[in-house]
Amino acid sequence: MATSQDYMDCLFDQIDNKWNKRYRKMFGEYMFYINDKPVLLVCDNTVYVKILDCISSIIPNESKGFPYKGAKEHYIVDIEDKKLLNSVIEELVKVIQIPVKKKKSG
């Protein structure tokens, strides 16, 4: 099951407007960027975030799962809990770096 546009619209609305937010379709699913940093992975209408120490105290009891076959385990964030979602994003934008584009060789 792929992520629906309705789900992405709902997620977009749940994230505070204080951030520059956008998403991009990748491999049939989505990466959600906050201030140009890849913060949320969205697969099958579920939001996944990397398991990092900076958010472990915020979502210690949240469920965990695998966004796709062969992936590392991630936290699953309930987008209905707007306060939690934005707290997680607040912490993640502090530690996640903006990806550096690699130059193509040849």
Query: What range does the domain containing 52 cover?
Result: 5-95
Who has greater pLDDT, 96 or 104?
96
Residue 77 belongs to some domain of the structure: yes
2-49 confidence digits (pLDDT tens): 899 999 999 999 999 999 999 999 888 999 999 999 999 999 999 999
Whole-number percent of the chain with pLDDT over 90? 80
Candidates 69, 64, 24; CA nearest to 48 is 64
The verdict on residue 104 lying in a domain is no
Check which CATH number belongs to the domain holding 52 and give it. Answer: 3.30.1460
Residue 88 lies in a domain: yes
Mean pLDDT of all residues in the chain? 92
The answer to whether the CB of 21 falls within 8 A of the CB of 12 is: yes
**Dihedral through CA 51, CA 47, CA 39, CA 60, nearest 10?**
-30
44 lies in a domain?
yes
Overall domain count for the chain = 1
Asked if residues 98 and 37 have their Cβ atoms less than 8 Å apart, the reply is yes
64 lies in some domain: yes
* Domain assignment of residue 34, yes or no: yes
The verdict on residue 13 lying in a domain is yes
- Please tell me the pTM assigned to this model: 0.89
Strands ordered across the beta sheet of 74-77: 21-26, 29-34, 37-43, 46-50, 74-77, 64-65
Q: Report the pLDDT value the prediction gives residue 100, as an integer from 0 to 100.
A: 85
* Residue 86 belongs to a domain: yes
